[in-house]
Amino acid sequence: MLPLPPLQIGSHLAPYPIIQGAMAVRVSGAPLASAVANAGGIGLISSFGIGLHPDYFGAAYPKRRLFEANQLALIDAIQEARQTSPTGMIGVNILVATRDYPELAQTAAARGANLIVTAAGMPWDLPRYTEQYPEVALVPIVSNLESAQALCETWQERYQRWPDGLIVENCKLIGGHFASQCESGDVATIATTVAELRHYLNWQGRATPIIVTGGIWDRSDIERMLAIGADGVQMGSRFITTAECSADPRYQALHVGAETPDIITVPSPAGKPARVIRNRFAELALADSPDLEKRCIANCLAACLCRDRGKTYCLLQALSRAAQGDTDQGLLFSGGAVRAVERILPVAELMATLTCSTLTVP
């Protein structure tokens, strides 16, 4: 079996072409991101709801808004990850749909993140928020050639900046939110999208890496994506069942036994469908049950059906409950290609399996 190639993103080089996907409300925090970085991949800290923790927000800080708590928690998380992984590639995932997206982008860049990955919207002005830190790689998630082309050309015209990488979603399999108008799904369709993007980038004279996310679970999936022309992959759900994942053990236990038939799609207050593990809460959301609590706890999203129209549920609260172990009344995002695993294992062991490298302890 041939070794996996490295992944160059901007001025940063990862030994392996694997990005650990971000999972909200501290599921992918500093311990997971640094462990992946130490194992040769790229670790991402999720910024969404990172401050929703007693150390930063709640009864002990009655006057502190969640946005301030998010910034403080993100600063601490980047510092913790960097202390554990001084030379590894550490990034931050930021949702464009959140109201504190600009501040979090500025904070991530100023505090030493190697890259910023954006999701849940088009980051038209991201280069403006990070212009003082040109060494920070900017990697937006896009759905197709048209969205990538519009973003690239807008950045070039406004800021003389080009994305350092593009992440393409397989929206038929990606966990969490996905585009309502979903075309991709099988390998042939993804291959077409990758080929279109490569042709466009070559035409522009750009060697921008293309990363595929959604449905990546094992080494064979990685090889399949590299074979169709991708430079790397992003994997989220596979890292939930690792020892360094910060989610409650009950949350992890549910993912240990989860398989594809357990995955359903529910509406979300963000206005997009979301892919989750079936549980009591998901069933209520699917039925738009009156039993769903519709109290907005933090005013976190720029547009929110719960806050603005009294529909669906509070996304932050639902995700937080699950991550804290309430697997009955919380929302559990999961990819569509999830498979049952035998046990919780260390990130180093999982990465060694994915890369077929010799297991080492940093």
Write the pLDDT tens digit of every residue in 23-55.
988 898 999 999 999 999 999 999 999 998 888
Please check the confidence at residue 211 and state whether its pLDDT lies above 50: yes
Cα dist from 34 to 77, 136, 242, 336, whole Å: 10, 17, 13, 26
What was the pLDDT predicted at 361?
42
Residue 121 φ/ψ region, left for φ over 0, alpha for ψ in the -120 to 50 degree band, beta for the rest: left
What was the pLDDT predicted at 183?
54
Instruction: Report the sign of the C-alpha dihedral through residues 11, 15, 19, 20, in that order.
Output: negative
Which position has the higher pLDDT, 77 or 183?
A: 77
Burial class (CB in 10 A: 0-12, 13-18, 19+), 310: exposed
* CATH node for 7-248+341-355: 3.20.20.70
Other Cβ atoms closer than 10 A to 185: 15
Q: What is the mean pLDDT of the chain?
A: 90
Please check the confidence at residue 179 and state whether its pLDDT lies above 80: no
Amino acid at 191: A
Please check the confidence at residue 359 and state whether its pLDDT lies above 80: no
Domain-wise residue ranges, the chain:
7-248+341-355, 250-323
Nearest Cα neighbor of 313 from 331, 290, 295 is 295
Please check the confidence at residue 115 and state whether its pLDDT lies above 90: yes
What was the pLDDT predicted at 171?
79
- The band of 223, judged by pLDDT with boundaries at 50, 70 and 90, is very high
Cβ contact 336:263 at 8 Å: yes
- The band of 186, judged by pLDDT with boundaries at 50, 70 and 90, is low
Which position has the higher pLDDT, 303 or 19?
A: 19
First to last CA, the chain: 24
Residue 174 φ/ψ region, left for φ over 0, alpha for ψ in the -120 to 50 degree band, beta for the rest: beta
For residues 153-174, give the mean pLDDT: 92
What was the pLDDT predicted at 362?
42
Please check the confidence at residue 173 and state whether its pLDDT lies above 90: no
